[in-house]
Structure 1
Amino acid sequence: MPECLDYLDSLAVDGDEPSRAALAETEITRLTSAWRVLLDLHAPDGQGRCPHCSAWRRPHRHPCTVWTTAHQHLISADGPPAHRTGRHGCVADRSTVVVLAAS
């Protein structure tokens, strides 16, 4: 699969005008369909969990890393986020600090 993606990248960058037009006509629809299926698999269930990433003993809250990565690369106006490291790195635009109000 990586070879196929590499080929599409090189065709989009180095291909002539007719090749890029043919690429747009065929591959964009295929890629958007694939992303829709992937995002549907990772859509939240009734309990707010990702059903595809969750296991009986290890439920994963939505959005999972697949959903977050897709959103950052496909929807976010800023493009892919800067590289974040560590298990508790900030995801998307959510703050890593929680402020509790006195009640």
Structure 2
Amino acid sequence: MMKATVFVLLFSFLGLAGCVQMPTTTSTTVDNRPQLSFIAASDNVVLSEYRVWVDGLESGLASDYKADSAALRLLPGSHVIELKRNEEVILKEKIYLGDGVTKQVVVN
């Protein structure tokens, strides 16, 4: 009888110990890098015809960074932004972007 009682108490204790929830922590990372996006000035402007260059490096199509759906994230500081269509420079602008800034470029 004594062994049975000890056995029941032991399993009861182990069962309760398994129900203890361990403390958890959650961490998040905030991406506060500046963002650059593009807007077509009219319905005649097709953003997929324009290639984006940042500081002399090609970064994809302007349609990849259409305002309100996506953005090109850059490091804070000064950048030279170029838009090219068929190797012709349509827009070349030097801009400064600080942390948390979203710049929208209007494509004519």
**Fold conserved between structures, TM > 0.5:** no
Q: Greater helix percent: which structure?
A: 1
Q: Could you say which TM-score interval applies, normalised by the shorter chain?
A: under 0.3
- TM-score relative to the length of structure 2: 0.19
Question: Which structure has more strand as a fraction of its residues?
Answer: 2
Larger Rg: 2
